[in-house]
């Protein structure tokens, strides 16, 4: 049985990615800040193969606690860095503190978690960083998303850097730049907007990607959207 880790697992894409991996008979360590929503996920999953960890990935003590828990499961086959946050606010109105919060949630949390877990990845394991079309170079950009898109762009470049640095260890790293998906986070940032893709659909794609795509890709930044980048 392979072990996968999914962050931001309490709702949306992370929630359904966890369920998809479990249905494929994998063990999943599901991480999120909301204890109640993780309990709901446990009930829906209805399997001993799910391990939930309530944690804030911007907290160093929580990162250390995750590492100690994961160490007891043996080697990790894959990590889906899905956790993040979005602020829809104009560039002029976005404060320094808000910029730092967005980078903490979307970039530095992934940096710290990967660094902590590196000793526990097995050979030919796969790290998938979940970015956004806003962080994909050459794509259409939207007002209000400067901090979010910049952080997601940095996550994409981190992917390229790590793929080269971790290659000697046979650890593969790729980045998926997602288009609009009808999640709670999207609804909070853009009330009333209807995305063309459901989180269950995107989760199926990510489940298959983290499980198999490292046989074909490494260090790639891949747009996953219905519309071509402009």
State the pLDDT at residue 230: 44
State the pLDDT at residue 169: 96
Q: What is d(CA 111, CA 116) in angstroms, rounded to the nearest whole number? A: 9
State the pLDDT at residue 73: 85
Q: What is d(CA 154, CA 156) in angstroms, rounded to the nearest whole number? A: 5
Q: How far is CA 52 from CA 102, 141, 163, 168, in A?
A: 24, 35, 28, 31
Q: Are 207 and 24 in contact (CB under 8 A)?
A: yes
Residue whose entry in the numeric block shows the structure tokens 């320094």: 96
Q: Could you say which of 3.30.1550.10, 2.40.50.140, 3.40.140.10, 3.40.50.720 is the CATH number of the domain covering 3-224? A: 3.40.50.720
Q: What is d(CA 171, CA 118) in angstroms, rounded to the nearest whole number? A: 9
Q: Are 71 and 116 in contact (CB under 8 A)?
A: no
For the stretch 62-112, pLDDT in tens is 999 999 999 988 899 999 999 999 999 999 999 999 999 999 999 999 999
State the pLDDT at residue 166: 98
Q: What is d(CA 50, CA 44) in angstroms, rounded to the nearest whole number? A: 11
3-state secondary structure of 132: strand
In the chain (230 residues long), the average pLDDT of successive 10-residue segments reads 96 95 97 97 97 98 96 94 94 98 98 98 96 92 94 98 97 92 61 72 95 97 76
First to last CA, the chain: 42
> Tokens for 217?
């890709």
Active site residue 205: no
| Chain centroid, CA 70 distance in Å | 17
State the pLDDT at residue 198: 78
**Cβ neighbours of residue 86 closer than 8 Å, sequence gap 6 or more:** 102, 145, 148, 185, 186, 188, 189
Q: What is d(CA 230, CA 56) in angstroms, rounded to the nearest whole number? A: 35
Q: Which of 15, 148, 193, 205 is catalytic?
A: 148
Q: Are 106 and 85 in contact (CB under 8 A)?
A: yes
State the pLDDT at residue 179: 82
- Pairing of the two strands 50-54 and 171-178: unpaired
């Amino acid at each position: 049985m392979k072990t996968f880790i999914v962050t931001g697992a309490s709702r949306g894409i992370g929630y359904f990615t966890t369920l998809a991996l479990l249905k494929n008979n994998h063990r999943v360590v599901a991480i999120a800040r909301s204890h109640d929503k993780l309990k709901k996920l446990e009930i829906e999953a209805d399997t001993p193969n799910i391990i939930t960890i309530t944690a804030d990935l911007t907290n160093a003590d929580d990162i250390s606690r995750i590492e100690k828990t994961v160490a007891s499961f043996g080697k990790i086959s894959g990590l889906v860095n899905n956790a993040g946050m979005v602020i829809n606010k104009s560039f002029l109105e976005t404060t320094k503190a808000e910029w730092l919060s967005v980078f903490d949630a979307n970039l530095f949390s992934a940096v710290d978690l990967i660094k902590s877990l590196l000793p526990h990845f097995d050979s030919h394991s796969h790290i998938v960083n979940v970015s956004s079309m806003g962080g994909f170079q050459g794509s259409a950009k939207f007002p209000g998303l400067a901090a979010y898109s910049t952080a997601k762009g940095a996550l994409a470049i981190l992917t390229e850097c790590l793929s080269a640095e971790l290659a000697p260890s046979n650890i593969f790293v790729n980045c998926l730049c997602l288009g609009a998906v009808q999640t709670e986070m999207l609804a909070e940032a853009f009330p009333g907007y209807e995305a063309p893709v459901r989180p269950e659909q995107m989760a199926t794609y990510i489940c298959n990607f983290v499980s198999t795509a490292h046989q074909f890709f490494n260090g790639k930044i891949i747009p996953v959207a219905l519309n071509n980048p402009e």
